[in-house]
Amino acid sequence: MNAEQPLLRAINISKRYEGPVGGQPVAVLTDVSLQLSHGESVAIVGPSGSGKSTLLNILGTLDEPTTGEVWCDDKRIDNLGPKQSAAFRRDRLGFIFQMHHLMPQCTAIENVLIPTLAKEGRGRAMYQRAEELLKSVGLGDRLHHMPGQLSGGECQRVAVVRALINEPAVILADEPTGSLDANAAGDVWSILSNLSRDRGVATIAVTHARHLAERMDRVLELHTGSLTVQGAAS
């Protein structure tokens, strides 16, 4: 790994969805390029329907661009097959979505450990890491609560910890505080940005809240499928 080289590069990404039979195709992204350095945090803002989720999904190998390339370190990742992309996501990425998507029948710490099940032979160390991470987000006394016994903000803190458990290089967060009230949103955003910074994890997070976006190193704006620099923060 070369610290000088960007961690993640999207090069001239375009995405077009074929419309229904006889309908018009929908051009969602047009010639989008971006670079993310190791440990850097970037916010993406933009109106609903501007392609934010589509871009995040392409960066996260959950969707393929129509044209363009995505690279992570020296590996091209936009054209991996299903097995390779699953392994790439497991080893390098952490995802957080607007809804926490915790398993309702599992406790907080069991939910955090789910992404580790695909890794071998690290059971006890992983349990300790999960416990330590949950303590660090103020949930040390909630380890064995079920999601139904936690507040929305607490569930989303569990989701942040779950995204970090496998020590990803990049966290991709799609409106991670979009379903929370202002106080809980501020708390979860702080936890996400501080934990990522402390652990050197690069982060790309979509949000509608301008004051949250501006806490990141850079803010980019998506508008009608094109990405522009919105303004430098800090």
Ligand X SMILES: Nc1ncnc2c1ncn2[C@@H]1O[C@H](COP(=O)(O)OP(=O)(O)O)[C@@H](O)[C@H]1O
Provide the binding-site residues for ligand X, judged by CB under 6 A.
17, 26, 28, 46, 48-54
Q: How far apart are CA 6 and CA 35, in angstroms?
A: 6
The partner in contact with residue 48, picked from Mg ion, ligand X, none with C-beta cut-offs of 5 to 8 angstroms by kind, is ligand X
Q: Which is nearer to Mg ion, 15 or 52 (CB)?
A: 52
Q: Which is nearer to Mg ion, 38 or 52 (CB)?
A: 52
The answer to whether 53 contacts Mg ion (rule: CB under 5 A) is: yes
The partner in contact with residue 200, picked from ligand X, Mg ion, none with C-beta cut-offs of 5 to 8 angstroms by kind, is none
Q: How far apart are CA 201 and CA 206, in angstroms?
A: 16
In the complex, minimum distance from the CB of residue 127 to ligand X, in angstroms, rounded to a whole number:
35
The answer to whether 207 contacts Mg ion (rule: CB under 5 A) is: no
In the complex, minimum distance from the CB of residue 149 to ligand X, in angstroms, rounded to a whole number:
31
- Is the separation of the CB atoms in 166 and 129 below 8 Å? no
Q: Which is nearer to Mg ion, 52 or 157 (CB)?
A: 52
In the complex, minimum distance from the CB of residue 25 to ligand X, in angstroms, rounded to a whole number:
9
